Structure 1
Amino acid sequence: MEARENAAATLFSLSLADENKIIIGASGAIPALVDLLQNGSTKGKKDAVTALFNLCIYQGNKGRAVRAGTITALLKMLTDSTNSMIDEALAILSVLASSYYATVAIVKSSIIFVLINLIRTGSPHKKENATASLLYSCKRGTENLSCISSLRAYGSVFD
């Protein structure tokens, strides 16, 4: 496990450079980072989440991240009351949400309801990222507008 966590730390450092985002994404490292995000130690999860955030800034890596199960991992992070990395999970989600593939996965998952709750009860930073993710999810086509109707079932988001 320690070797995987060290690799995640290295990928985190390397992913800061734009040209490396493409290389790392194409190398197949994203599924390993998602696995570490779900099963690693706190330190490993922090390095994995930061590396994933950096990698997902590059549009070409967003689909790879979705296919690797990032949305499911983020949902777990957002609903785990013992998780201290909710801000990081929301940051990745807000970056991914601009991708069509991520939007489809977000709408199909239960993240919409988690985002609504975070908009109601979260800190200003959490509200901002949750709102951005929800906005992208709802405006990516008429088939995704059904998520807006779910807001009515819960009253006004800003109550």
Structure 2
Amino acid sequence: MGADEERPPLPPFDLQSALQKVQAAEDAWNTCDPERVSKAYTRDSVWRNRNVFVTGRDEIVAFLTAKWQRERDYALRKSLWDFHGNRIAVRFQYECRDSAGQWWRSYGNELWEFDDHGLMRRREASINDLAIDESERRYFGPRTDAERGQDIPLQ
């Protein structure tokens, strides 16, 4: 296993390392770079994202490429919910607009499981979408340094 196949912090997680893992995931997803994001997952990682099932990095890249072609001006916030051993639970919200210009806020929960090298081998995401007016937006790109560590509101 090469250096690119390890993603510190490694399990078992404590509060600080779980928070670090969540922020790293948020930062990566906010790049909207499918190749970069896929490197945080095992080569045979399995996902459930809404009603879509994905297996392996190639499918992750294809899934994320299509996602970010549909979801424009994507901005994500993640918040640690709980952790234990090699598992982390997060809640998240993201905003984006579709090709017609409609803005959306998506609310969700994810369950993550990591291997011993800190790569995510399982991701389960449940997500609900809410149409919003552009004036209701609250996320404008990646988190600023001042926002780091702040929780996200319920609604």
Normalised to the residue count of structure 1, the TM-score between the two structures is: 0.27
Higher relative contact order (CA 8 A, sep 6+): 2
Normalised to the residue count of structure 2, the TM-score between the two structures is: 0.27
Greater per-residue helix proportion: 1
Greater per-residue strand proportion: 2
